[in-house]
Every structure is written in structure tokens, then in C-alpha cells.
Amino acid sequence: MELSPEYRAMAFVSSLQCLHLGGRDGIPVRPTRPCATRMSSKGFARPRKIFKYTGKVRPGTVSPKRSVPSDIMRPSYADDGIPKEKQPQKPWEIEIKSDEDIEAMRISGRLAREVLDLAGRTAVAGASTEDIDVVVHEETLKRGAYPSPLNYGGFPKACCTSVNEIIGHGIPDSTILNRGDIINVDVTVYHNGFHGDCSETFLVGDVDPEASRLVRVTYECLQRAIAVCKPGIPYSEIGNTIQRHADANNVGVFKDGVGHGIGQAFHTTPDVLHFANNVNNGIMRKGHVFTIEPMINEGSARGVMWPDGWTAATKDGRRSAQFEHTVLSKGNLFQV
């Protein structure tokens, strides 16, 4: 998930959210100073504002960042967190990838899927989201790849784990999964110079019918969006398709997370909006590669950002689900 252009354009420190958005390449960055003043020896300052979590999930303990062997090819941001790839100046300027590039991306995508499947097997009651991250990190390295989220904009882990009301970018930590939870695991690997990106929402044991329905409808939104992809179709049609199916099922589409172009850059054009729109983000062409990753909320479509600057949660505390595929063109066909 990438933050939408509108969300990226914001730059604020909210008394509740304590977040500055609008860092380089749309990367959220933490505030440089606390969002509320502490009491000092010279007198009383403003009372500290307490962040109000919207659901039951709370931050756990985050372990130290894991290392990557020096013989693994590393993306441009691996050392300092800042992507170095030049970005297009206009949203409809989209890279046309060669057949060789697309085959390399197909390999990256297959490796990402293998790792995601192994992560899903780890998402059981009693496991922590940290346990999932360990599997993703180690299995990515075993395949000669780099876990793309690691140090992207300073992100501390190899994958994103988003439980129940967490919409996306959840940081793996000591949080324990319980039977009845749902969890999205988002895996991206960097192999031979190209990223491959996918995610899935997993059920932890038996879940209630409402959770099962949310996950099913979210998957259907993704599949319907993929089905409309072909050369000559505006990227806006992806969002229109998702919105229609979401509305028909009385669920909300989170608007502040978008799909994105992908390749040698982790995130690039096009911005793939998942809601009804007529924004000119380009026309699908042979050689385009991009992700579709709708975030569908059980209730309100709105979200809030946690103080960590990464974790997005539903505003009403109800659950959210997500599925993601990387879509690439092969001749006049678009495939996952």
C-alpha cells in the first residue's frame, strides 16, 4: 500500500495523530518534535494529548532490525531509507517495460508469493506478528532476495502485518494472534533488480460470519478489478469497478491507500486509486506493471494514523481486509 497523492500532500502534526506526512517520495516521516509539550522545571506546559486507539489492537514491542548478508542485492534505499530512482514528472507518464524486465518481474512476483504462502501458514492462534516477520525475512534471504519493506523510509521490518482494524502498514511486533482474528500480510521482495509485491488476508482459526464475508468481498473486489485490465482502459476504471462491488455489499473503500507502478522502483506511477474517480492517472498500455490492492472496511471508509507514523487503522475500530496482486502485461493480456 502507498499513501494516496492527497494524503501524501498533507503536512500536519495532529494532536491525536502526531504524524507528519509528505516526506520524500511520499514516505511518512515521524515528527521531529513531540506533538505535545512536557512539563518543565520552569512551570506547566500544555497537557500531553493522548492518542485514542479506535479498536482493540495496541502496539507491541518491536525487536531490533534484522541484518541482510552483504551478498544479497540491495535496493537503493537499503542503507539510508531514501529511494534514489528518478520519478516521472506527471502522473500519466508510466514506464514501458521490456519483455526482459517483465520476465524478471515475473520471477520476483513468484518468489514473493512463495514467501507469502509460508507467512500465511505461520498466522495461527498463539503466534506473534513478529513470528511472521521472522519467516518472511529468512525465507526471502533463502531465495537470494531482499525484503523490500526493510528500511524503506525507515520501516523496521521485512513485511507488514495488519490485524483486524488495522488497514495497512502494521509493524510486526510482540502482538499475539487469537482465534477469530483476521490478518493481512503484505510481502514484497527485491530480486535481481526488480520488486515483486503481493498480500493476502488470512483467517486465524474460525472467524465470525461478518469477518468471513468482509474477506470474501475484498477478494472479489480485487478479482473484478483485474478482470477489467486491458490495453486502452483508463486506470480510473479499476477504482470504479471496486467501488461498485463494495457499494453493492455495503462496505467501505479506504481512499487513502493506493496501488502503484512497480519495477526497479518499489513505488512509481501510476497511482491506482481503488475508489470511484475520473482522475487522469494514465491509460493501460503494453509494458505497464502495477499493483491493485483494495483496502475494504467493514464500516466507515475513513482511517486514522497511529503515532508510529506507519500504522493506519479504521476510524470506527471495525475490521479491514486487503488483497494485492502485481499485474503485468504480456502482449495484449494483463496477468498476475
- Helix ranges (H only) for 148-276 are 209-227, 236-248
Spatial neighbors of 204 by CB under 8 A, at least 6 apart, are: 123, 124, 125, 177, 178, 179, 180, 181, 182, 183
Distance in angstroms (rounded) separating the CA atoms of residues 92 and 41: 55
> Tell me, what's the pLDDT at 45?
52
Which pLDDT tens digits describe the chain residue by residue (336 residues)? Answer: 665 544 444 322 332 233 323 333 333 333 333 333 233 344 445 656 799 999 999 999 999 999 999 999 999 999 999 999 999 999 999 999 999 999 999 999 999 999 999 999 999 999 999 999 999 999 999 999 999 999 999 999 999 999 999 999 999 999 999 999 999 999 999 999 999 999 999 999 999 999 999 999 999 999 999 999 999 999 999 999 999 999 999 999 999 999 999 999 999 999 999 999 999 999 999 999 999 999 999 999 999 999 999 999 999 999 999 999 999 876 555 666
In the block, cell 479499476 appears at: 238
SS3 track for 82-113: CCCCCCCCCCCCCCCCCHHHHHHHHHHHHHHH
> Tell me, what's the pLDDT at 216?
98
Distances (CA, A) of 199 to 6, 33, 231: 24, 34, 25
List strands edge to edge, sheet with 303-305. Answer: 166-168, 312-314, 303-305
**DSSP string of 308-326, one letter each residue:** TSS-EEETTS--EEE-BEE
**DSSP string of 158-190, one letter each residue:** SSEEEETTEEE-PPP-SPBP-TT-EEEEEEEEE
C-alpha cell read off for 69: 548478508
Distance in angstroms (rounded) separating the CA atoms of residues 336 and 328: 6
The size of the chain, in residues, is 336
> Tell me, what's the pLDDT at 55?
97
Axis-axis angle for helices 209-227, 236-248 (nearest 10): 150
> Tell me, what's the pLDDT at 42?
44
Identify which of 166, 177, 230, 175 has the alpha carbon closest to the alpha carbon of residue 199. Answer: 166
Bridge partners of 200, per DSSP, are: 185
Q: What's this model's pTM, rounded to 2 decimal places?
A: 0.87
Question: What distance, in Å, lies between the first and last C-alpha atoms of the chain?
Answer: 17
Distance in angstroms (rounded) separating the CA atoms of residues 107 and 84: 23
C-alpha cell read off for 309: 507514523
b/e code 91-127 from CB counts within 10 Å (16+ = b) = eeebbebeeebbebbbbbbebbbbbbebbbebbeeeb
